[in-house]
Amino acid sequence: VGAGTGIVSRALQERGARVVAVDPGAEMLTRLRARTASGTAVAAVRADGNSLPLRDDSADLVTYGQSWHWLDSAGSVAEARRVLRPGGALAGCWNFTDAARAGWLAAYEQRLAEEVPGYWGPALAEWDVPPLAGYVEVVEERWLPWTRMITVDDFLLDLRSHSYMAALPAGHADEHVRRRHAELAEVFPGGAMAVPMRTYLVVGR
């Protein structure tokens, strides 16, 4: 649900799942199809979490990859339970940078906080209440460390996609990205970055 460009959908498919990737955005689904090999077990459908294009009792797992916070929580859980088979589960995951593992990343995020008014800062190390709590029985909760391999250019392209960058006055975003690019190029002169990450995973029924 909220499949976006299909990162989670493809990861599930690669592990043997038959996936129905749901997103309300036609542009996102176009990108998902372009990035997903033809013939794979991923069906892309334009819909949202409150009206899933599935029969009752037809799914083993409903996932929300960085999309739960966009949904009507109670309505989406009710719809997920409609399509889940007995014993099925809901899972949500969120990715965060892990500045505690890299000094350059801590400095980068500090500059974001100083220069970009809408930037909230790094995620807390732990959440007191899982995002699905109150709607389901939480049966699993984990923080999983990993490393994202990406180019400096793509890393900064991701930065530009955030609403706090779009809210900057004209020209300020370009100048901010230019400064960050110069700093990151000193740390990663070859252009390839290793970004420490943490994924928060919660599973409920």
Give residue-wise pLDDT tens across range 178-192. Answer: 999 999 999 999 999
Residue ranges of the domains in the chain? 48-204
Mapped onto helix, strand or coil, the DSSP state of residue 105 is helix
Give residue-wise pLDDT tens across range 88-104. Answer: 999 999 888 999 999 99
Residue 112 has pLDDT above 60, yes or no: yes
Cα gap 111→86, rounded to integer Å: 49
Average pLDDT, the chain: 91
In the chain the first and final C-alpha atoms are separated, in Å, by 16
- What's the pLDDT score for residue 68? 85
Decide: pTM greater than 0.85.
no
Cα gap 142→144, rounded to integer Å: 6
Give residue-wise pLDDT tens across range 121-169. Answer: 765 555 656 678 788 999 999 999 999 999 999 999 889 888 889 899 8
Instruction: Decide which of 3.65.10.10, 3.20.20.70, 3.40.50.150, 3.40.50.300 is the CATH code for 48-204.
Output: 3.40.50.150
Residue closest to 67 by CA, chosen among 156, 160, 132: 132
Query: Could you count the other beta carbons within 10 Å of the beta carbon of residue 203?
Result: 20
Query: Could you count the other beta carbons within 10 Å of the beta carbon of residue 172?
Result: 13
- Name the token pair of 186: 């000193």
Task: Enumerate the β-bridge partners of residue 45.
Answer: 22
